[in-house]
Amino acid sequence: MDWWIYVLLAVAVLFVLPALVVSAGIYIILLVRTKPDKFGRKCSFPDDEEYVRLYNKGLAWGEKWKDHKRDVSIVSDGLRLVGEYFDFGGENAALIIAGRTECLLYSYFFAEPFRSAGWNVLVIDNRAHGLSEGRVSSLGYREYRDVLGWCRLLHDELGNQKVMMHGICIGASTALFAAVDENCPDYVAGMSAEGMYVNFYESFLNHIKLDRPKAPRFPVIPLTMLMMRVFSGANVVTDGPLWRIDRLKKPILFLHSREDQFSLPEKAQELYDKCTAPKRIVWFDRGAHSRIRINTPEPYDEAIRQFLAELA
């Protein structure tokens, strides 16, 4: 065997294989439900005081309005997905789409502005979350088809005239993917997006910079992104909201915090500027990523109610 073959083998053993192992571990942690209670119906950050307060306020909302609730389900891509429908007697409904790791109990917290505006509310367990089937999350690249299925349920079976989508973080990206799809029906009237990023790759890098500033980036992060593409169908580097926002025709409300360190404010402005649909952006001075409403509930709710009034 030539000497250069030994060198290549040594490089593979010393550098490539360990990087692959680490990348696979990160991918599994982020997107694969390895046991039934992972991404389950529980508080995702029990040591975060603000998050726990948000979560408990949502649970209190669900308890208050439980008499209006019914369990619902659909089948999408062969997976049985579950949700809860709150019928408040309205003619229209809002579908709340949470981000990665979150179940429908989390989405309770965002339901009040829709209820107070006279809209019915559907909260869902995304695939591979909560009580829904599935093992792999796809960061919206497959889940948008599930969202369109939920919209059909709201309209065709539950009798709502109009449907609007409210997405948080990855849920906002998922809502956008659904709204620009050629199969998105006319009765989907619009969407609101809290903390929408330009693509998941940039948001992930911002997490790494804040949480693990000394962690090596290459080749682990590129390999992790490659695994997302191969195993989850998620092209998180050269696709995402920034590449699709100009295809949107339906009205959109952007909700963004100037304190957001993961979906940076200047990137939100870039998304807004590129969007050619009827649009509005509301800036909030307080609130970390996905934490706007817990810090400024009244302005947040009023922005949504005004948007709903224009859609009705």
Please state, in angstroms and rounded to a whole number, the distance separating the CA atoms of residues 51 and 46: 8
Residue 214: its pLDDT value, please? 80
pTM score of the predicted model: 0.95
Beta bridge partners of 236: none
Measured in whole angstroms, how far is the alpha carbon of residue 65 from the centre of its chain?
Answer: 24
Q: What share of the chain is helix, strand, coil (3-state, %, to 5)?
A: 45, 20, 35
- Please enumerate, as own/partner, the contacts of 73-78 that have beta carbons within 8 Å and a separation of 24 or more: 74/146, 74/149, 74/150, 74/152, 74/153, 75/149, 76/127, 76/145, 76/146, 76/149, 77/127, 77/142, 77/145, 77/146
Please state, in angstroms and rounded to a whole number, the distance separating the CA atoms of residues 235 and 237: 6
Residue type, 294: I
pLDDT along the chain (312 residues), means of 10: 50 65 93 96 96 98 98 98 98 98 98 98 98 98 98 98 98 98 98 98 94 84 94 96 98 98 98 98 97 98 98 84
Beta bridge partners of 81: 74
Both structure tokens of 30: 């982020």
Residue 5: its pLDDT value, please? 53
Both structure tokens of 121: 């509310």
Residue type, 310: E
CB distance 179 to 187 below 8 Å: no
> Which candidate, 145, 303, 177, 159, places its Cα nearest to that of 250?
177
Residue 16: its pLDDT value, please? 67
Residue 4: its pLDDT value, please? 54
Both structure tokens of 295: 């810090």
Residue 211: its pLDDT value, please? 87
Residue 13: its pLDDT value, please? 47
Assign residue 39 a region (left: φ > 0; alpha: ψ between -120 and 50; beta: otherwise).
left
CB distance 20 to 223 below 8 Å: yes
Beta bridge partners of 83: 72, 124
Q: Is 70 helix (H, G, I), strand (E, B) or coil?
A: strand
Both structure tokens of 188: 């989907």
